[in-house]
DNA sequence: CAAATTATTTAGTCTTGCCTAAAAAAGTTT
DNA sequence: AAACTTTTTTAGGCAAGACTAAATAATTTG
């Protein structure tokens, strides 16, 4: 299992959480910051190895083996994040790049001992669940932003609509995965929401809110 | 700096310690478990980058920049070894393979925070000194046990061969870093040594003695 | 010192993982 | 449904890092 193959599996896993159907090569390419044609190549290799199911023009999905492999990478990533934050005093924004490297270290003993050293944490510092050594992972209850009551604080955990128009809109509003959003008020007339994003205040339509997954803090 | 380039620099550094002249492509190839022709290629690339000095048929030596880079890799390797042993309860024959991977993680902050977390250790579990963040490394005056005269008392400070076979042998004989060893007698015929270890008496072959570094008390 | 041997480099190939450009399929319009 | 647009795949190429086989330099030996 190469570094690159692991990254593909991880990205396919994450995309699968928000979109149960076949994951398109385009979606993978934009996450990988590479090109769809490169993805087609790799996805065929992963299919040959039995890690994904792939049919031309139909997108990709993980096999049980592929999902398990992906979960082990997620497990490593999140445990290292806990380590960096709790033991080495990293701040949140510094953690990701390093965990991204550490997740590829191959040693079952290492990761199991690390888990023990950290006292078997069940969530990473974002509140995302950490898979156990058998690949079991707690379900996160994510909701649509449109279902959140005024006054609540939530974290953005995904999108329902992954069109580039929508994603570009989110970029423009500086809403990203992990962003903290406070729902200031809800307009009864059109169900639009006024949000607090950092120190900015933004109003978004119900259509926007109905396509953004969040979890309560 | 790729994974592979880092490995070359590290190996050239280690070979340079025992052989001050140009390091041959052959010597590097056997350490890398690859072929001399592959080494020639890579060594030319490293020379182009100013990390080594290379003249055809004359072997290789590190530039200041190359040596510094190598020392930073050695630093990471040895700090991770300390972490694995002290915090994750690895035994000293298990640490090497994992440290071999961890030494390539790129983050100055990570390694400096790790050093602090470990309380600024000066030696790794094999008794080798840990370079500081400026590339300064302590000189150890260590001798091989095989060079010690009968009657002398010494302390174990490191190993030359760090294969797990050898390390496990040492564990079995209860020889560890810091162990006091008294050379009781030396057999002229095969140069084997009879040692006093605590209150035990053990006979070891010359091959064992020639792979154990000690310092005189 | 010349011949034989050994060490080292060069030349050409392979695999991995990526790319661009072109072709083909799918999806959308009119 | 034909024409157009978008998405996805195919084809062909490139760089890194390794390899084998052949050539060449260095070293050892008779």
Task: Give tens-digit pLDDT for B182-206.
Answer: 999 999 999 999 999 999 999 999 9
- Please answer yes or no on whether A109 and B94 come within 8 Å at the CB atom: yes
pLDDT band, residue B88 (cuts 50/70/90): very high
List the structure tokens of B65: 């920049």
* Nucleotide C18, nearest residue via CA and C1': A38
- Please answer yes or no on whether B105 and A110 come within 8 Å at the CB atom: no
Query: What's the confidence (pLDDT) of residue A175?
Result: 87
Out of B106-115, B122-131, B169-178, give the one with best mean pLDDT.
Answer: B106-115
Buried b (16+ CB within 10 A) or exposed e, A109-134: ebbebbbebeeebeebbeebbbbeee
pLDDT, chain A, mean: 92
Q: Chain A residues within 8 A (CB-CB) of chain B?
A: 84, 87-90, 94, 97-98, 101-102, 105-107, 109-110, 113-114, 117
Kindly report the number of other CB atoms within 10 A of residue A192's CB atom.
18
Q: Is the pLDDT of residue A127 over 70?
A: no
Query: What's the confidence (pLDDT) of residue B155?
Result: 94
**Looking at the partner chain, which of A89, A105, A114 has a beta carbon nearest the beta carbon of B113?**
A89
Nucleotides of D under 7 A from a protein CB: 7-12, 16-22, 25-26
A96: nearest CA partner in chain B? B107
Question: Which residues in B lie closer than 8 A to residue A105 (C-beta atoms)?
Answer: 98, 101-102, 105
The Cα–Cα gap between B163 and B203 comes to: 21
- Please answer yes or no on whether A90 and B109 come within 8 Å at the CB atom: yes
Question: In the β-sheet with B153-159, what is the strand arrangement from edge to edge?
Answer: B143-144, B212-216, B153-159, B180-186, B193-197, B200-204
Percentage of chain A exceeding pLDDT 70: 95
Establish, for the pair of chains A and B, how many residue pairs have beta carbons separated by less than 8 Å.
Answer: 39
For residue B145, the distance in angstroms to the closest alpha carbon of chain A comes to 33
Query: What's the confidence (pLDDT) of residue A44?
Result: 97
Q: Chain B residues within 8 A (CB-CB) of chain A?
A: 84, 87-90, 94, 97-98, 101-102, 105-107, 109-110, 113-114, 117
**pLDDT tens readout for residues B129-177:** 999 999 999 987 889 999 999 999 999 988 988 888 998 999 999 999 8
Q: Is the pLDDT of residue A59 over 90?
A: yes
Nucleotides of C under 7 A from a protein CB: 7-12, 16-22, 25-26
Q: Which residues contact B132 (CB under 8 A, 6 or more apart)?
A: B75
pLDDT band, residue B62 (cuts 50/70/90): very high
Q: Is the pLDDT of residue A65 over 80?
A: yes
- Please answer yes or no on whether A105 and B98 come within 8 Å at the CB atom: yes
pLDDT, chain B, mean: 94
Does A140 or B49 have the greater pLDDT score?
A: B49
The answer to whether A21 CB sits below 7 Å from nucleic acid chain D is no
Q: Is the pLDDT of residue A161 over 70?
A: no
Query: What's the confidence (pLDDT) of residue A166?
Result: 77
Query: What's the confidence (pLDDT) of residue B127?
Result: 83
Which region, left, alpha or beta, applies to residue A52 given φ > 0 means left and ψ of -120 to 50 means alpha? Answer: beta
Query: What's the confidence (pLDDT) of residue B114?
Result: 98
Q: Is the pLDDT of residue A167 over 80?
A: no
The Cα–Cα gap between A20 and A16 comes to: 5
Interface test with B, best of A2, A108, A109 (most B CBs within 10 A): A109
Q: Is the pLDDT of residue A189 over 90?
A: yes
Q: Is A130 helix (H, G, I), strand (E, B) or coil?
A: coil
A100: nearest CA partner in chain B? B105
Alpha-carbon A148 to chain mean position: 20
**For range B43-53, the mean pLDDT:** 97
**For range A131-147, the mean pLDDT:** 92
B98: nearest CA partner in chain A? A107
Q: What is the pTM of this model?
A: 0.82
pLDDT band, residue A163 (cuts 50/70/90): low
**For range A82-100, the mean pLDDT:** 90
Query: What's the confidence (pLDDT) of residue A94?
Result: 82
pLDDT band, residue A176 (cuts 50/70/90): confident
The Cα–Cα gap between B18 and A43 comes to: 47
């Amino acid at each position: 299992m190469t570094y690159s193959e692991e990254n593909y599996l991880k990205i396919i896993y994450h995309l699968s959480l928000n979109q149960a159907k076949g994951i398109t090569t385009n979606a993978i390419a934009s996450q990988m910051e590479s090109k769809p044609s490169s993805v087609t190549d790799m996805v065929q290799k992963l299919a040959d190895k039995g890690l994904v199911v792939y049919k031309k023009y139909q997108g990709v999905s993980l096999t049980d083996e592929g999902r398990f492999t992906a979960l082990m990478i997620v497990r490593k990533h999140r445990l290292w994040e806990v380590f960096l934050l709790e033991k080495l005093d990293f701040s949140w924004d510094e953690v990701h790049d390093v965990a991204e490297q550490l997740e590829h270290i191959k040693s079952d003993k290492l990761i199991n001992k690390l888990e023990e050293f950290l006292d078997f944490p069940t969530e990473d510092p974002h509140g995302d669940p950490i898979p156990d050594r058998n690949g079991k992972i707690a379900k996160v209850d994510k909701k649509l932003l449109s279902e959140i009551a005024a006054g609540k604080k939530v974290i953005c955990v995904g999108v329902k609509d992954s069109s580039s128009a929508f994603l570009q809109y989110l970029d423009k509003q500086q809403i990203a995965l992990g962003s903290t959003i406070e729902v200031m008020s809800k307009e009864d007339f059109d169900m639009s929401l006024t949000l607090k994003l950092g120190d900015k205040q933004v109003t978004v339509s119900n259509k926007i809110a109905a396509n953004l997954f969040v979890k309560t803090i």
